[in-house]
Amino acid sequence: MSQTSKENKITLALFYCQNIPESGKQDRQSLEEEYGKSIRLFPIPCSGRLEPLHLLRALEEFADVAYVITCPEGECRYFDGNLRAKKRVQRTREIIESIGLEGERIGIVMNKNSKSLARQAHEIMENITHLRPSPVLSPHRAQQEKGEKRDNC
């Protein structure tokens, strides 16, 4: 794949509620074109569907940072899915802090002004540029670089 200009050293796993504006297939693909391998997008039916496990597994496997975008407070289609997501993000933060990772590696954006997916993603990307690649992934990365091409399965 071609190296895109905005490709970062770190990877963001971005979960987002399917009800946020301009978050359809095309919008998603434009973001992927823009950021290349630095972004992994996961649309979910409701932000309340997200569990600490999703965020933790993402950090463990491929992401340096994991964020979730929810609908504005009071506007969740399932009433309080976004509030639950907020609590879960908080809890997950505590977990990663307790093992010595920066809490900022996990974040939530409650889309107050109903911004588009792309605008939110840009802002999150700006906010995380100061973070180092995650120490959790270092062994993975070294391995990947060694044997980038996988054997046929």
Is residue 105 at the binding interface for other proteins, with CB under 8 A as the rule? no
Is the Cβ of residue 40 or residue 115 nearer to other proteins in the bound state? Answer: 40
Helices (H) and strands (E) in the chain, counts: 5, 4
Is the Cβ of residue 130 or residue 153 nearer to other proteins in the bound state? Answer: 153
Contact 47, 69 (CB under 8 A): yes
Is the Cβ of residue 130 or residue 147 nearer to other proteins in the bound state? Answer: 147
In whole angstroms, give the CA distance from residue 24 to residue 117.
Answer: 9
Phi and psi at residue 40, to the nearest 5°: -125, 125
Where along the sequence are the contacts to other proteins (CB under 8 A)?
1-2, 13, 15, 18, 24-25, 28-29, 32-33, 37, 42-46, 48-49, 53-54, 57-58, 60-62, 78, 81, 84, 87, 150, 152-153
